[in-house]
Amino acid sequence: MPDETTPVDPTLDEELALANEPTEINPDVDIAPEEVGPTVAEGERILEVDNVTLRFGGVVALNEVSFHINQGEILGLIGPNGAGKTTCFNVMTGVYQPTSGDVRFLGEPLGQRKRFQITKLGIARTFQNIRLFANMTALENVLVGADAHHSTGVGSAMFRLPKHRREEAEGRARAMELLEFMGLTAKADELARNLPYGDQRRLEIARALATSPKLLCLDEPAAGFNPAEKAKLMELIRAVRDQGYTVLLIEHDMRLVMGVTDRIVVLEFGRKIAEGTPAEVRENPAVIAAYLGVEEEDAS
């Protein structure tokens, strides 16, 4: 028998029990995105990355990368460490301006737009390292996202004008719906820093959804998860898509990506090396070579 100081690896049953303990999502709760701005028909292109290159001095972080995302799909963006996945995310969401090439969302070029403007257009993202407001409650964190489309200003808030009170009530109702969808209703008044790690991940997704995005970008959402938690994350991502959202997923866990995406784009050293369905990508010699470090002619 191990003594009290000996670490014991949990069994799968223990992992499942642990994963089921914090929260269960409620996919029947209606969190469909609000109709803000132009609409896109199912299957039509919602975002296009066209020949994008990004240089940092002499380093080419992205090299003529092109791909598109269709309305209503889950697209995976994968690649080995340092492939340029998060850099591509950052170009799409206004953190970096491309050296050349274009990113278009709903037909509108995103170049030179500020991050808050891109959020208002309908792109929301989470981060590989959780970026919640640690000393705010779960509800307050989601309300920050809901505020993205409010039109009242400081004066209206100071004097508690009717329009401000209406938007505030609508935002709170929306935030509570998202918390219920995530299974976090009972933790609405808890500080974000006191939530279990998995709940913090779900809370960050809820905050992103509160902006009513047409495209939800998830950057390594399974980081730090055990296998059972990853399975529940797959369920969550599918449930979000089923509510009418389009999802772009960056993830290094191949089993998760293969199990949840409709199509996959693969980057290596800043360039696109493959694109297709999970089955097509799984058998692609260039992808096998990138992940296993073998010569392409020997990988088939």
Q: What percent of the chain has pLDDT over 70?
A: 82
What stretches of the chain show up as alpha helix (H) in DSSP? 12-20, 85-92, 115-121, 138-146, 154-158, 162-181, 197-209, 227-242, 254-260, 278-282, 285-292, 296-299
Instruction: Give the tens place of pLDDT for each residue, 225-283.
Output: 988 889 999 999 999 999 999 999 998 888 899 999 999 999 999 999 999 999 999 99
The more confidently predicted of residues 207 and 294 is 207
Contact 132, 143 (CB under 8 A): no
Q: Which two tokens stand for residue 55?
A: 């240089």
Whether the per-residue pLDDT at 156 is higher than 70: the answer is: no
Mean predicted lDDT score pLDDT of the chain: 85
Q: What is the pLDDT of residue 252?
A: 82
Distance, in Å, from the CA atom of 217 to the CA atom of 220, rounded to the nearest integer, reads: 10
**Looking at residues 10-39, what average pLDDT do you find?**
64
Instruction: Tell me the Ramachandran region of residue 246: left when phi exceeds 0, alpha when psi lies from -120 to 50, beta otherwise.
Output: beta
Give 255's DSSP letter: H
What pLDDT is attached to residue 253? 86
CB atoms within 10 A of CB 153: 10
Least confident among 129-143, 204-218, 286-300: 286-300
Question: What does the CA dihedral 115, 121, 127, 132 come to, rounded to 10 degrees?
Answer: 80
Q: What is the pTM of this model?
A: 0.85
| Segment 124-153 mean pLDDT | 85
Highest mean pLDDT among 17-26, 109-118, 154-163: 109-118
- pLDDT of 89 > 80? The answer is yes
Asked if pLDDT for residue 21 goes beyond 60, the answer is no
Residues 81, 59: Cα–Cα separation, whole Å: 16
DSSP letters for 81-137: TTSSHHHHHHHHTTSS--SEEEEEETTEE-TT--HHHHHHHTEEE--SS----TTSB
Is the confidence at residue 20, as pLDDT, over 60? no
- The CA distance from 72 to 90, in Å, is 22
Residues 154-166 have a mean pLDDT of 55
Domain(s) labelled CATH 3.40.50.300 in the chain stretch across 40-122+213-300
> Is the confidence at residue 72, as pLDDT, over 60?
yes
Res 16: pLDDT: 42
pLDDT of residue 17: 42
In CATH, the number for domain 40-122+213-300 is: 3.40.50.300
